[in-house]
Chain A
Amino acid sequence: MSDAIQRRQFLIGAGGATLAAAVPPAAPAAETPLLSAPSQPAAPQQAAGDSFQILSAAEAAFLGAVADTMIPADGLSPSGSDCGVVVYIDRQLAGAYGAGSRIYTAGPFQPPQRGTGWQSPLPPLGFFRAGIAAADHWCVATYGHSLDHLDEAGRIVALKAMEKGEASFQGIASKLFFVELLQLVMEGFFSDPIYGGNRDKASWRMVGYPGLPATYREKIEAWRGKRYEQDPQSIADFS
Chain B
Amino acid sequence: MTRRLKEVDAVLVGMGWTGSIMARELSRAGLSVVGLERGQDRKPADAFALPGIRDELRYALRQELMLDPAVQTVTLRHDDSQIAQPVRRFGSFLPGDGVGGMGTHWNGQTYRFLPSDHKLRSHLSQRYGAKAIPEDMMIADWPIGYDELEGHYARFEALCGISGKAGNIRGEIQEGGNPFEGWRSGEYPNKPLKSSQGGVLFAAAAKSLGYHPFPSPAANASNPYTNPEGVKLGGCQYCGHCERFGCEADAKASPQTTLLPVLAKDPRVEIRDLAYVSKLNYDRKAKRITSVTYVDLRTGEELEQPAGLVILSAWVFGNTHLMLHSGIGTAYDAKTGKGTVGRNYCYQINSGAQLFLENEELNPFMGTGALGMVIDDFNGDNFDHSGLGFFGGGYVTLNTLGARPISFRPVPPGTPAWGKEWKAATAKWYRHGATISVQGSNYASRGNHLDLDPTYRDPLGRPLLRMTYNFTDNDRKMSAFVTGKAAEIAKAMGAQHVGVRARSGDFDVVPYQTSHNTGGTPMGSDPHTSVVNRYLQSWDAHNLFVLGSSVFPQNAGYNPTGAVGALAYWAADAIVGKYLKNPSALIPA
List residues of A whose CB falls within 8 A of some B CB. 69-72, 74, 76-77, 97, 101-106, 108, 110, 112-119, 156, 159, 163, 182, 185-187, 190-192, 194-195, 203-204, 206-217, 219-221, 223-228, 235, 237-239
Q: How far is the CA of A224 from the CA of B362 in the complex (A)?
A: 7
Contact B430 A191 (CB under 8 A): no
Q: How far is the CB of A239 from chain B (nearest CB, A)?
A: 6
Query: Main secondary structure on chain B at its contact with chain A?
Result: loop
Interface residues on chain B, number (Cβ under 8 Å): 66
Contact B363 A102 (CB under 8 A): no
| Closest chain A residue, CB of each to CB of B431 | A208
Q: How far is the CB of B463 from chain A (nearest CB, A)?
A: 12
Contact A217 B236 (CB under 8 A): yes
Please give 16 more A-B residue pairs, beta carbons under 8 A apart, in addition to A102-B62, A238-B51.
A77-B423, A101-B70, A104-B89, A117-B510, A187-B406, A192-B55, A207-B427, A207-B430, A212-B51, A214-B240, A214-B402, A215-B237, A220-B363, A225-B360, A235-B52, A238-B50
| Closest chain B residue, CB of each to CB of A155 | B419
Q: How far is the CA of A227 from the CA of B431 in the complex (A)?
A: 9
Contact B200 A207 (CB under 8 A): no
Could you say which of B76-84, B112-120, B578-586 contacts chain A? B76-84
Q: How far is the CA of A106 from the CA of B457 in the complex (A)?
A: 8
Contact A206 B366 (CB under 8 A): no
Q: How far is the CA of A235 from the CA of B85 in the complex (A)?
A: 39
Within residues 371 to 429 of chain B, which ones have a CB less than 8 A from any CB in chain A?
Answer: 402-403, 405-406, 409, 417-420, 423-424, 426-427
Contact A110 B83 (CB under 8 A): yes
User: Is B73 located at the chain interface by the 8 A CB criterion?
Assistant: yes
Q: How far is the CA of A118 from the CA of B511 in the complex (A)?
A: 12
Q: How far is the CA of A187 from the CA of B509 in the complex (A)?
A: 20
Number of A-B contacts (CB under 8 A): 183
| 13 A-B residue pairings within 8 Å (CB atoms) | A105-B70, A110-B83, A115-B76, A116-B85, A118-B510, A192-B55, A206-B423, A208-B430, A209-B430, A213-B50, A214-B237, A227-B363, A227-B431
Q: How far is the CA of A191 from the CA of B409 in the complex (A)?
A: 13
Contact A192 B56 (CB under 8 A): yes
Q: How far is the CA of A178 from the CA of B194 in the complex (A)?
A: 41
Contact B366 A219 (CB under 8 A): yes
Contact A213 B68 (CB under 8 A): no
Q: How far is the CA of A209 from the CA of B408 in the complex (A)?
A: 10
- Residues of chain B within 8 A (CB-CB) of A106 are 86, 456-457
Q: A114-B78, A117-B89, A209-B403 are in contact. Are A220 and B423 (CB under 8 A)?
A: no
Q: How far is the CB of A52 from chain B (nearest CB, A)?
A: 19
- Residues of chain A within 8 A (CB-CB) of B426 are 206-207
- Residues of chain B within 8 A (CB-CB) of A210 are 365
B59-92 CB mask vs A (1 if < 8 Å, else 0) is 0011100001110010011100011011111110
Q: How far is the CB of B271 from chain A (nearest CB, A)?
A: 25
Q: How far is the CB of B66 from chain A (nearest CB, A)?
A: 9
User: Is B197 located at the chain interface by the 8 A CB criterion?
Assistant: yes
| Closest chain A residue, CB of each to CB of B50 | A213
Q: How far is the CA of A191 from the CA of B200 in the complex (A)?
A: 30
Contact B419 A228 (CB under 8 A): no
Q: How far is the CA of A102 from the CA of B71 in the complex (A)?
A: 9
Within residues 175 to 197 of chain B, which ones have a CB less than 8 A from any CB in chain A?
Answer: 194-197
Within residues 44 to 58 of chain B, which ones have a CB less than 8 A from any CB in chain A?
Answer: 50-52, 54-57
Q: A104-B70, A220-B196 are in contact. Are A70 and B419 (CB under 8 A)?
A: yes
Contact A223 B55 (CB under 8 A): no
Q: A204-B405, A214-B237, A224-B196 are in contact. Are A195 and B423 (CB under 8 A)?
A: no
| Closest chain A residue, CB of each to CB of B71 | A104
Q: How far is the CB of A71 from chain B (nearest CB, A)?
A: 7
Contact B70 A203 (CB under 8 A): no
| Closest chain A residue, CB of each to CB of B507 | A115
B508-540 CB mask vs A (1 if < 8 Å, else 0) is 111000000000000000000000000000000
Q: How far is the CA of A106 from the CA of B508 in the complex (A)?
A: 21
* Residue in contact with B61 in the complex, picked from A101, A182, A187, A224, CB distance below 8 Å: A187
- Residues of chain A within 8 A (CB-CB) of B89 are 102-104, 117-118
Contact B50 A163 (CB under 8 A): no
